[in-house]
Structures are given as C-alpha cells and as structure tokens.
Chains A and B, each alone.
Chain A
Amino acid sequence: MFKWIHRFGSPPFVYRLSGRIAPVLGVLCLILMLTGLYLGLVVAPADYEQGDSYRIIFVHVPAAWMSMFVYVVMAVSSAIFLIWKMKLADIVAQASAPIGASFTFIALMSGSLWGKPMWGTWWVWDARLTSELLLLFLYLGYIALRNAIEHPQLAARTAAILAVVGVVNIPIIHFSVDWWNTLHQPATITKFDKPSMHPSMLKPLLIMVVAFQLLYFYNLLVRVRSGILQREKRAAWVAKELEN
C-alpha cells in the first residue's frame, strides 16, 4: 500500500504514467465538449424569459465551478507540499495556477457577456462576478509572488503559504461580498432550494461540467510533465527518456 503511494513521489514514474493518461483524457474531453456544445447550443430550447442568451451558462457555469475547484486543488497540494515536502505536490500547485486563472477569466468574460443582454451593461457588481474577480486577483497574486522570488525552493514554499492563506480567506471574502451585494444591489426573489432547470437544459450543462473537469486534468498532466522535466533536467532518466 505504502509502496504504491511512494511511487507517486518518483518523478520518472509519474512522468510516464501521466504521459499515458493524458492523451486518453484529452480525447474524452474533446468528445464530451463537442457533444455538450451541440446539445446546449443547437438541441436545447430557448429559455422562457432570457431567450437564447441564457446559453452562455453552458460555458459560464462550468468555468466558474472549475475556477473554485482548481484553487482548492492548488491550496491542498500546497499544504501537502508544506507538511510532507513532497515536490510533486508543488509541481501540481504551480501547474494549476495559470489554468485556474484562465478558468476564472473565462467565467468573468462570459458573465460579462451575459450581463449585456440580461442587465443591460457589460459589468454589474453582482456578488458572484465580484467574488470571481477577487478570485482572479488571488490567482494573479500567487503567480506574481512565484515569479518575483528567484530562488526556486524559496519561491515554492512562500507561494504555498499564500495559497493556504488564500483558501482560508475565500469563504470569508465570498460571504462579505454576498452581504455587501445584498445591501447595495438588487436583492431578488428566488427560491431557497437549487435553481430548477428543465432536463433538456440540465443535461448539456452536466456534460459541459464533466468536459471542463477533464480539460483541467488534461492540461494539468501536460503541465506537470513539463514541470517534472524542467526540474529533473540534469537527471539521467530524463536524458534517456528524451532520447527515445
């Protein structure tokens, strides 16, 4: 059992394993994304109130979910790196940051595109949009801190602390922004339970959620592989691997 876990500390093993898994994830992601987009943009009917513009949720909602998921992955692997000094965890955190920032950016852009037909402006200080914007700043801060410190070891551990501090703060920030928004912005009448969606719209959304998840893992593996190569560039196994 422990032997099995220990193998994930071995760069050559992870490099080869991820090299085998990544293409499979990539192909699956492509299939699901095309299916989801077809069902969402072509097959699903228009909304009773928002017309066709609601279709942006098929990109917006998965991207927004992933932006938060990726931050949690980043913070958890940073914590693992700080506690057990596992280098692979740091590579995962480093590789996740730009992907997470991109998802956040996509969520923001699509939210703003949605805002134009729905609210009449490109940007509203909606609670979710504002939280998302702050999340983008947290990602950018992490990346900037990592880039600013030259010593790689020092940069890795410092950035890891920032990621952990950030994840503790995210719920508080989210709560504050929600509260601020209800005070300053339109409060609305909604139901307490989950947003209800017609199955014809829910199915493509769920497919897109899975597709975005796969997109993240595919990108993560590709980036982790190059991260491993970069750090182990002087190791014998890398030279051997790249010869083939």
Chain B
Amino acid sequence: MMSIEASPSLSSVFSRIARRELSVALRNEGQWLNPLLFFVIVVTLFPLGIGPGPNTLSIIAPGVLWVSALLSVMLSLDTLFRTDYLDGSLEQFVLAEVPLSLIVLAKIMVHWLMSGLPLLLMSPILGVSLNLPVSAFGALILSLLLGTLTLSLLGAIGAALTVSLNHAGVLLSLLVLPLSVPVLIFGASAVSAAASGQAVLGQLALMAAFLALTLSLAPYVCAASLRIGVAGSN
C-alpha cells in the first residue's frame, strides 16, 4: 500500500510545504504587514504614555522593544493552523505519508519569515527613536533573532492547542505568555547589558539554548495536538 515513490525525502517535503505557505502568505499583505504595524504602534505608545524624556526612554527601551515584539508575535499566530483546519487541508496533512511534525515546522518557519523577520529589521529604527545606545543594536538584533524564532515555536503550540476554536486570540496569549517569560527576561536583559557596556554572551547563549530546545520539541507537541484537534472534531 505504501510505495517508495509515495514517500518523498524529508527535505523535499519541507521545501514544498514552505513554498506553498510562502506563496499563500505573499498574496496576503496583511500577514506580514499587520504584525509589523502592530509592533511599531505599540512601541510608539510607550513614549506617549510615559513621557518623552530621552534618559527614561533609553532605560526602558530594551523592555519596551521586547514586550512589543512578544505581543506582536503572539497575536499573529492565531491563524497559523486555523485556515488549514477550516478548509480541510490540515486533515490531509495528518493523513499524509510524511511526518506531520516536519510539515508543522515548515509552516512555523514561513510564519516567522513573514512576521518575525520584519520586526527584526524594523527594531533598530525604533531603537533610535527610543534613544537606545548604538552599542546595544547588535545585541538587540541577535536577541530578537533567537527570541522571535523561539516565540514563534512556542506560540505554535498554543495555536495547535486552540485550533478547533473559532476565536482563540486572547486564550492563545493566556496559554503562551507565561511560557515565554524566559525568552523575555533574557532577551531584554541582553539588550540592557549591551546598552551599559557589559558582556552579553551569557544571555545570548541561554537564548540559543532555549531556541535549540523548542526547535527540537515544539514541532512534535504541535503535531500531537493537531492530531487530537482533527480527530476530536469528527
């Protein structure tokens, strides 16, 4: 019943799913534009709420940038699996010969390209506006690179758990935000440390450790919860 031709290599599965996802995403500007706009607007709100003093702003800048990035990633993840769930393609993924965790990983990576990467590129500009010292920009970008990837993977777990619900936005954040505390702590701390001229290797190494851990476990957890979600709806 299963022939060798029917089960393509892992890398070709990954690239095919990734290409499909990418072309779907590129046709829909909202998917990359909305999280980016959200990020910019939330960061803008902080000086308006706290006051324009450059000294205050440069102290809070690492935390503001990090919290905004965290919220933006979380809010964009709501629909990661839901459209596939509603139109039935998720069921096909579950039934497919290829490992579901790999398909999930491809989807998450494309999602990060569309939502996490723009944040990364935008962050130095916002850093300037918040009076963040230039010495911290390297740490800001590196920590956001490691951190938003981890957040996308963690958030995907939440999205997979809530796939059968119609609206999960707030619930998803409630589930995932406590889990993302370590990323926030070390991300913001790396930027603050760099701003005051201290070494950041420790924080970045820990963030890399979090990323490696979530990268190797999250796709399996997502796959397991998607299987449950698809099976439970029948």
Direct A–B contact in complex, judged by CB atoms less than 8 Å apart: yes
Q: How many residues of A contact B (CB 8 A)?
A: 28
Note all chain A residues with C-beta closer than 8 A to B178: 134, 137-138, 141, 169, 173
A190 within 8 Å of B (CB atoms): no
A177 contacts B179, CB within 8 Å?
Answer: no
Measured between beta carbons, the chain A residues less than 8 angstroms from B171 are 144-145, 148
Contact in complex: A161, B224 (CB < 8 Å): yes
Total A-B contacts with CB atoms under 8 angstroms apart: 72
Contact A149 B165 (CB under 8 A): yes
Other-chain contact of A169, B168, B179, B185 (Cβ < 8 Å) = B179
| B229/A161 in contact, CB under 8 A | no
The answer to whether B162 and A145 touch across the interface, beta carbons within 8 angstroms, is yes
Interface string of A118-157 (1 = CB under 8 A from B): 0000000000000000100110110011001101011001
- Is residue A200 contacting chain B, with contact meaning CB distance below 8 A? no
B185 partner, pick from A145, A162, A177, beta carbons under 8 A: A177
A165 within 8 A of B: yes
Chain B residues with CB under 8 Å of A179's CB are 185
State A142–B229 Cα separation when bound (angstroms). 16
Mask: chain B, 153-192; 1 = CB below 8 Å from A; 0 = not: 0000100011011001001001101110110011001000
In the bound complex, CA of A138 to CA of B175 (Å): 7
Q: Which of B83-141 contact A (CB under 8 A)?
A: none
A176 within 8 A of B: yes
- B45 interface residue (CB < 8 Å to A): no
Contacts of B162 in A (CB 8 A): 145, 148
Cross-interface CB contact of B182 among A140, A145, A173, cutoff 8 Å: A173
Q: How far is the CA of A183 from the CA of B62 in the complex (A)?
A: 15
Determine if A172 is an interface residue (Cβ-Cβ < 8 Å): yes
Asked, given contacts A149-B164, A176-B181, whether A154 binds B175 with beta carbons under 8 Å apart, the answer is no
Q: Can you show 6 pairs from A to B with CB atoms below 8 A apart?
A: A134-B181, A153-B232, A154-B164, A157-B232, A158-B228, A175-B182
